[in-house]
Each structure stands twice: as C-alpha cells, then as structure tokens.
Amino acid sequence: MVLNGNVNSNNTDSHEITLFDFGPLKNMNDWLIVNDGVMGGLSSSRFVLSDRNTAVFSGNVRLENNGGFASVRTRAMQFQLDGYKGILIRVKGDGKKYQFRLRTNDRFDGVSYRYHFETQNNQWQTVAIPFDECVPVFRGRILRDVGPVSPKDIQELGILISDEQTGEFQLEIQWIKAYK
C-alpha cells in the first residue's frame, strides 16, 4: 500500500517508532548483502550511505547460473515490535517491483515473510507494509502450513529484488519505521 501525502517523520508521534534512519555518521554494519551468488548466480548489489542522508540499495540482477535476485537484510536483532501493526518505509525507486522481507529467526536460510511493493521511477513514496499482509515464503515458494508473522518475534528486516527483473536497479531509502 502506497500512502499519498507526508507521514510524520519525527518521533513525537507515539504511533510510530523509527527503526532506521540513514543520516550522517550512521553505521551500516547492521546490514548484510545476500545475492544469488549463494546458489551460483552472478547478480551483484551494494548498500551504501548517500550524501543525501539516505541509504542506496543498487546493483545488477542477472539470470545466468540459476540466479535472479539481489537482497540486503539486517543482522539478527530484537526489534520488539509487539503491539505494532506494520512497517513504513520511505523510498525513491526506479519503477521496479521489490519485496520487503521479515524474518523471525536468525537462521541464514529460513522462512521469510514477504510483501511486494512497486516503485515509481524517481519519485519519493511511503509504503505501508501491514504485518497481516506479509506472506510466508521459503526460497520464493509460498508456505501454506506456516502461521502469520508474529511482530514480537521479528529479528530481521530486508529488501529483495527478483522476479526476473534483470538489469540495473536502484532503491533509495530515507527511513524505516514501525507503526501502530
């Protein structure tokens, strides 16, 4: 769900909590790149701070060698999101479709909960990601026998591009918040 208009970006609103902002001097060590090279693919990506107080996830998706995805995710940490309804993310995209991903354990290759969102080319947008609309998946396959994501158990957040969207991509991120 893309929200029109501005979302309150300060922390005075008790219905939101900032999980990540990407201002100056922020440490990017909480983030990891995971591309299709883990299974022989040739896609590449990077996640860096910009001089605009944003983070930029960019790269090149390639299909050779059974590849086709690039991603960035946080290291496992306790977000303590019990009582929150979802995630807000402020992005400027490239017109491609991305997945926001949540994980409830620290296993490298475990179940993820995904939410698809489309970006508009070179336009800022705020995307709302309701927890109850996140779909459990494993290696791209929907899991029918897994329950809904439990906000109190969320340990990792991530962004992935796949679905045979080959070529260069770029997603700029201003902040990531949780909302009640």
Residues whose CB falls within 8 Å of the CB of residue 78, separated by 6 or more in sequence, listed in order: 155
- What's this model's pTM, rounded to 2 decimal places? 0.89
Output the pLDDT for position 94.
98
Q: Residue 20 belongs to a domain with what CATH number?
A: 2.60.120.430
**Domain carrying residue 129:** 2-179
- How many domains is the chain built from? 1
CA distance 48 to 154: 24
Residues whose CB falls within 8 Å of the CB of residue 68, separated by 6 or more in sequence, listed in order: 36, 41, 43, 61, 62, 162, 163, 164, 166
pLDDT (tens place) for every residue of the chain, 180 residues total: 544 333 334 444 579 999 999 987 687 999 999 999 988 999 999 999 999 999 999 999 999 998 999 999 999 999 999 999 999 999 999 999 999 999 998 776 789 999 999 999 999 999 999 999 999 999 889 999 999 999 999 999 999 999 889 999 999 999 999 999
